[in-house]
Structure 1
Amino acid sequence: MTVYVDNFRTPATVGRLHGRWSHLTADTPAELHDFAAKIGLRRAWFQSRCKHGACPAIDDVCVHFHYDVVDSKRTEAIAAGAQAIDIREMGALVSARRQQFRDGAR
């Protein structure tokens, strides 16, 4: 299983949480859910739909699937085995998923 966390670290406020947010993803949604549960993320926080709705979906999950995490969870994810990647590498992962969709792979 490979789980990735990018270095986006954009400042934002979500509810009462203010922090710098990054994206946690994995090779598959199932792998991501398993890992997220291990570091205490709620399944309800999973983002599986594209904001614009024009994105291809594999098994009814947008190719941009991820959890948003604040810096403390990002650090925890890395300590738990997530691979720290650059935001450009995250873009490459999404592009590869999009290509899988076009190729008909599931």
Structure 2
Amino acid sequence: MAVYVDDAIWKWANKRWCHMLADDEAELHRFASRIGIHRSAYQGPPKTSAPHYDLTGFERDRAVRMGALAVDRAGILAVFRKVKVTGAKGTRRAVTAAAE
């Protein structure tokens, strides 16, 4: 399992931000905790369609130093598609072919 961050390119509140996603939601939360991101920063269903955290550029750098994989826009979109929650009840699609 892996954790992924895209480029910190969008601006908000005088900072640059990026997304952090993971192959598994539990891994996403563990990694966020390891890099000092509080669980209250989590964004996921039902408010958003994919479990993720928004990170500042500084937090992104720390995530990469601690093992997150830096991916481009196409890479983060591929992960987003894998972990996207489908259906009204939030049924998660399988993230690996073996699990399907």
TM category (shorter chain) comes to 0.7 to 0.9
> Residue in 1 aligned with 2:60?
74
1:6 CA displacement: 0.6
Match of 2:93 among 69, 77, 101: 101
- Number of matched residues? 90
Structure 2: 5+ residue runs without aligned partners? 87-91
Counting aligned pairs with the same residue, the percent is 36
Kept in 1, the 8 Å contact 2:51–2:83? The answer is: no
Give the one of 27, 34, 45 matched to 2:30.
34
Residues 20-31 of structure 1 aligned to structure 2 (within 5 Å)? 20-31=16-27
Q: CA deviation at 1:93?
A: 1.3
2-structure distance, mates of 1:36, 1:97: 17
Q: Which amino acid aligns with 1:40?
A: G
- Code of the residue aligned with 1:101 in structure 2: it is R
Q: Shift of residue 74 of structure 1?
A: 0.4
Give the TM-score taking structure 2 as reference length. Answer: 0.77
Question: Which whole-Å CA distance do the structure 2 matches of 1:77 and 1:27 have between them?
Answer: 15
> Which consecutive unaligned segments of at least 5 residues does structure 1 have?
54-61
In the other structure, the counterpart of 1:11 is: 11
- Whole-angstrom CA distance in 2 between matches of 1:8 and 1:91: 15
Return the TM-score normalized by structure 1. 0.73
Please state whether the residue corresponding to 1:4 is helix, strand or coil: strand
Aligned residues: CA RMSD: 2.3
